[in-house]
Amino acid sequence: MVHVKYLLMTYGNQEKWDSLPAEGWTEAIAQQDAFNKRYQESGELIGAYGLGDAAACRMVGRQDGLPVVSDGPYLETKEYMASFYLLDVDSEQRALEIAADMPWADREPVELWPILHEAK
């Protein structure tokens, strides 16, 4: 059976996080942990990673062979990538099912990208 890797991405911003009631965070985290555990145990979730706030992001370039670092990102939109998940599944259909099972997918869409190349 051929397996295909996919990247799931979720988006958010500080305004969205602040709008959630504090008492709802425990349940939201428990739902996400259950999702992660279910698909890690099935072998379909390679990894799940939550990202820091955009204020902690840095833009890195190179000038004269040295790193040039600035605050970033310089976003044109109000939302930024909040987390990403690596899947290893047997079909696109299965990746779509897992993406739709993301706890917040009924409120916020999840991006699903096929991974075409893996560095060796």
Residue 96's pLDDT is 96
As a whole number of angstroms, the distance between CA 58 and CA 73 comes to 7
Rounded distance between C-alpha atoms, residue 66 and residue 53, angstroms: 26
Q: Band of the pLDDT at 75, cuts 50, 70, 90?
A: low
Q: What is the pLDDT of residue 73?
A: 65
Which domains, and CATH codes, for the chain? 4-114 (3.30.70.1060)
Model pTM score: 0.82
More confident residue, 85 or 55: 85
- For residue 29, pLDDT beyond 60: yes
pLDDT for residue 28 = 87
The answer to whether the beta carbons of residues 77 and 71 sit under 8 Å apart is no
